[in-house]
Structure 1
Amino acid sequence: MADLTTLGQRMRHFRSTAGLTLGELGDAVGVSASQLSLMENGKREPRLSLLSSIADRLGIPVGELLDEAPPSERAALEIELERAQSGAVYAELGLPQLRAGRSMPDEVLETLVGLHRELDRRSREKIATPEEARRANTELRARMRDRDNHIPEIEELAEGVMRDAGYEGGAMTHRQVAVIAHRLGFELVHVGDLPHSARSVTDLENGRIYLPPASIPGGHGLRSMALQAIAHRLLGHHAPRDYAEFLQQRLEINYFAASCLMPRGHAVRFLSQAKTDRDIAIEDFRDAFGVTHEAAALRFTNLATAHLDMRVHFLRVADDGSVAKAYENDGLRLPKDVTGGVEGQIVCRYWSARTAFARTNRTTEFYQYTDTPEGTFFESSQTGTSATEEFSITIGVPFAESKWFRGREETRREVSRCPDANCCKRPPSELESRWAGKAWTSAKVHAHIFSPLPSGTYPGVDDREVYEFLESHRASD
């Protein structure tokens, strides 16, 4: 059944079209005019048998009443006004609700709806700040820790999709991704002029998913981009209402893409055999499915606890020691700010995530045991380079779990006393006495810390640029 507001509008529309008053229609179907008025105002849900009687009297199929579309442009505006006044943003103002009666001119109604749209837009813009992003991200990370970074319902969805696409193992092909898109009614189109703020753009009207050129370096990432765009459709996502919902959606589409690129059944069999052989190595897992080291490490966290009975931690750390991504359910104490945020915090200099940068041979994983106040951890790190920085990807486990991993015979051992500032944050006393007050540093300031996140339908995305892109490609067809 349509929502009550729309249903009521359709009842009023067809009654007025038939030239009947509330009393006349009520007499014909055996209910009072006041009861019908409550239904037309969306305050009461009519029984299906009563709707059938009303439809018969109005001379229309009952499906006409149950249609989800507003019956007219005026009705659409009235519905939008009522919903806006029922929302949290308007409620916070403490103002009375204004009913759009028949005497209200269309231009007044349009103005009121326009004001509510702008109020909602400004509210969204207000929350899209770095502080809000950090709060929302911290809450999301806590929720995923509670469920061991595992989402069974998305695993099931991905396995079904891959089965239908004819996947039998190994690295997923670009053709299989195209088959999945085609089954949903989409064509994958590679273009060289994507909006700079978008990784992909989906044209819902014409059934196209626009992606970067297929010849870009590291083209395996195009599979993930396409699968993420597909995931929005399969998971029924709508435009996010706030930044927390945006982050939740982003997590879900990334999880779906990883679950397709490394399907649960095949991935668990691979990792279980590696565990039996006491030879788990993220680099082998990466190569078996043709993905990046980071993607393989993150996927390992999805499966390690749920299917291998193993607690783990994951870190992506820049060469300056700052955390870009982090997850743990093994007791490692991650660096946090006063809000609980981890991203941007500096990890201990003695953790593998930082000591790995010092080695000269970076073609294979770097292994290390690290003693911490929370216990000893075995860590495996791989360094890499992006367009803007060097970074390391680390998977770690408590000492007792190291027996399952390649590199467990490593003798390198470091001691970390962080968060004790004397561990690695404060300079040694001899250096401090030698240089204190004798140096001046011009600090590197990241301009983005002063700016709110770009606002739009999706945080960080320029709506105008996206719409102009879609229009240019529509016009060129």
Structure 2
Amino acid sequence: MDTVSADITTLGHRIRHYRTQRGLTLDDLGEAAGVAGSQLSLIENGKREPRLSLLQAIASALDVELSDLLSSEPPNSRAALEIELARAQRGSLYASLGLPPIKPTKGTPTETLEAIVGLHRELAKRANQAIATPEEARRANTELRERMRAQNNYIPEIEELAEDRVRAAGHTRGALTHREVSVMAEQLGLRLIYVNDLPHSARSVTDLANGRIYLPPASIPGGHGLRSMALQAMAHRLLRHEPPESYADFLRQRLEINYFAACCLMPRDAAVGFLQERKRDKDLAVEDFRDAFGVTHEAAALRLTNLATSHLDMTLHFLRVGDDGALYKGYENDGLPLPTDVTGAIEGQLVCRQWSARSAFTHTNRTTELYQYTDTPAGTYWCATQTGTTSAGGFSISVGVPFAEAKWFRGRETTVRAVSRCPDESCCKRPAHELEERWSGKAWPSARLHAHILSPLPSGSFPGVDDNEVYAFLETHSAE
């Protein structure tokens, strides 16, 4: 190793600390270590990274162990403040202010440094809260989606963690029961409590002080969501999450807790065994996978994306599309050209009208999956689509594979076929020529705008969650 791997700012402060403690000047120490005092000054100010041989000489001259110099801990509280200030002033946030950097001197009062560093902390905190806007969320979500695509939507360490916790709760086969979820919570020192007055901005609230997880009423039909919400709350503890430092961090944590919950509800070994057997029989179907583990169709479809490439040796895509044609969730590692905006985000983009994710809404019988082959510029894909309805409107869930992989799925014999030329606008975005001639300039529709597209999420410790509402809730229930 030729250079030092420790933080050079902290290193410089530790050298200065030991030098001044021994009453040495820069020239005194430089002479003893065989380096000019001016070079030593650059090292102490964090502007030059010394080689290991020089560091060993400095440690010898100071009569300290090399490990003492390389420690990541500031030598004292004053140095800690100076180091934190230097780091803050090197950051992009401070640079965006256009202000000159402040260089503390011996005469700078410690109280002044504490005030300046405190201001930087508050500035960073407010900046992190303020970035919870739709634009920032889209960028962060795009980066996260691309990262997951690179690893085939598979997180092995969370898979292992979930397998361990499910086995420890006594689960052996079939759907994970509410009782087993409660046992998992108890093993973490937590108790599940169902209440009617959860804060409107929170799906669940964990009281770390009293070991409680507050959930919505247990009377929710089916209770699928309650198991998942409880598991997600536990995942924060098991994955050792800290309060998110940025919106990207918040999105990563949300993905991880959702992944953990899915792994528990559809444990890897049991799920892979089920899917491999169905693949051998050439009878793979999301609806069977859903029913075998007692989850929603969307949850089963998403879980399939976790396991298909790593354990079934196939690529695929997943789409959740609203009845207005907008893409709300999407994943692909099979080359399907998902629509994107200029930032690379897919959320809110309209999918091709020829895809089964949209054409499924035109079918009168929506109780079973719709199967379809679609010829696209990237190749031919087979898809299975199921529609559903929520209070917010209709939606479709699609899972699809390249033509060569369709042989493993139920519904491969379908004769339904469509042609999509998107992103070519002549495919489905432009109106027919005769209609355009007849109505161009004679219509003025009033657009329906979704409020959340333009408004930022409420800022707080956790983006989108009202801290005041949550803390008032906890205060009310802590006395019970």
- TM-score, length of structure 1 as denominator length: 0.82
Aligned length: 451
Q: Which residue is equivalent to 1:440?
A: 444
1:397 matched to 2:366? The reply is no
The residue that corresponds to 1:359 in the other structure is: 363
Please tell me the residue identity of whatever aligns with 2:409: F
Matched, 1:369 2:373: yes
Partner-residue secondary structure (3-state), 1:341: coil
Does 1:316 pair with 2:312? no
Name the SS of the counterpart of 1:400 in structure 2: helix
Cα deviation, 1:369-423, whole Å, max 9, x if unaligned, reads: 1111111111000101112110000000111111111111111111111111111
Opposite residue 258 of structure 2, the aligned amino acid is: N
Partner of 1:151: 155
Q: Specify the code of the residue in structure 2 equivalent to 1:425.
A: K
Corresponding position: 1:461 with 2:461: no
Separation of aligned partners in 2, 1:22 and 1:229: 50
Of stretches 90-99 and 355-364 in structure 1, the one that deviates more from structure 2 is: 90-99
Q: Specify which of 266, 274, 292 is matched with residue 278 of structure 2.
A: 274
Q: 1:125 deviation in Å?
A: 3.2
CA separation of 1:204 and 1:340: change in aligned 2, threshold 3 A? same
Shift of 1:163: 1.2
Give the partner amino acid of 1:397.
V
Give the match for residue 293 of structure 1. Answer: 297
Aligned-partner SS, 1:421: coil
Does 2:244 match 1:236? no
Q: Percent identity, aligned pairs only?
A: 68
Residue by residue, what CA displacement relative to the aligned partner does 1:137-162 show, whole Å, maximum 9, x if unpaired?
11111111111111111111111111
How far off its partner does 1:440 sit? 2.0
Aligned partners of 2:238, 2:104: CA distance in 1, in Å? Answer: 38
Which is worse superposed, 89-98 or 369-378? Answer: 89-98
User: Structure 1 residues 100, 385: closer, same or farther in 2, change over 3 A?
Assistant: farther
Greater Cα shift, 262-271 or 205-214: 205-214
Aligned to 1:196: 200
C-alpha offsets along residues 48-85 of structure 1, whole Å, 9 cap, x if unaligned? xxxxxx9xxxxxxxxxxx9x9x999x999899767756
Q: 1:201 deviation in Å? A: 1.2
Q: 2:430 aligns with which of 418, 421, 426?
A: 426
Change (3 A) 1:102 1:347: same
Q: Is the 8 A contact 2:129 2:246 kept in 1?
A: no
Say if 1:374 and 1:217 are closer, same or farther in 2 by CA, change over 3 A: same
Picking from 96, 100, 118, the partner of 2:101 is 96
| Alignment partner of 1:345 is 2:349 | yes
Pairing partner for 1:262 from 248, 266, 270: 266
Q: Aligned ranges for residues 143-222 of structure 1 at < 5 Å?
A: 143-222=147-226
Q: Distance in 2 between matches of 1:407 and 1:165?
A: 37
CA distance in 1, matches of 2:105, 2:325: 58
Measured in 2, the distance between the counterparts of 1:233 and 1:98 equals 41
Shift of 1:431: 1.4
Match of 1:379 among 374, 380, 383: 383
- Are 1:332 and 2:336 an aligned pair? yes
Q: Is the 8 A contact 1:100 1:109 kept in 2?
A: no
State the superposition RMSD in angstroms: 3.9
How many Å separate the matches in 2 of 1:326 and 1:413? 22
For the structure 1 residues 85 and 470, does the alpha-carbon distance in structure 2 shift closer, same or farther, using more than 3 Å as the test?
farther
Q: Could you report, residue by residue, the CA deviation over 1:288-347 in whole angstroms, capped at 9, with x for unpaired residues? A: 001110000000000011100111000000000000000011111111112211110000
Q: Answer yes or no: is the 8 Å Cα contact 1:82–1:99 preserved in 2.
A: no
Once the two structures are superposed, residues 80-138 of structure 1 have per-residue CA deviations (whole angstroms, 9 ceiling, x without a partner) of: 767756765346666435659798375x5664354223211231134222111111111
In 2, distance between residues paired with 1:345 and 1:213?
Answer: 35
Cross-structure match for 1:63 = none
* Deviation at residue 23 of structure 1 after TM alignment: 6.0
CA distances 1:274-298 after superposition (whole Å, capped 9, x unpaired): 1111111100000100111000000
CA contact (8 A) 1:334 1:347 kept: yes
Q: Displacement of 1:251 after TM fit?
A: 0.9
SS at match of 2:387: strand
Gaps of 5+ in 2: 1-6, 14-19, 24-31, 33-42, 50-55, 57-63, 65-70
Instruction: Tell me if the contact between 1:322 and 1:345 (Cα under 8 Å) persists in the aligned partners.
Output: yes
- Tell me by how many angstroms 1:271 deviates: 0.4
Once the 2 structures are TM-superposed, how far is the Cα of residue 171 of structure 1 from its aligned partner? 0.6
Q: What do residues 203-228 of structure 1 show as CA deviations (whole Å, max 9, x unaligned)?
A: 22222111111112342111111111
Shift in alpha-carbon separation, 1:105–1:171, aligned structure 2, 3 A: same
* Paired residue secondary structure (1:424): coil
1:228-269 Cα deviation digits (max 9, x unpaired)? 111111111111111111111111111111011101100000
In 1: Cα distance, 2:412 partner to 2:418 partner:
15
**Displacement, 1:439?**
2.0
SS at match of 1:384: strand
> Which one-letter code corresponds to 1:166 in the other structure?
G
- Tell me, which stretches of 5 or more residues in structure 1 are unaligned? 10-20, 25-31, 33-37, 48-53, 55-65
Residue from 459, 468, 476 that aligns with 1:472:
476
Q: 1:102 to 1:202 in 2, by over 3 A?
A: farther
* Aligned residues of 2:129 and 2:461 also touching (Cα < 8 A): no
Matched residue type, 1:459 = P
Q: How does 1:49-64 map to 2 (within 5 A)?
A: none
* Structure 1 SS opposite 2:426: helix
User: What amino acid maps onto 1:235 in structure 2?
Assistant: L
1-side partners of 2:157 and 2:92: how far apart? Answer: 30
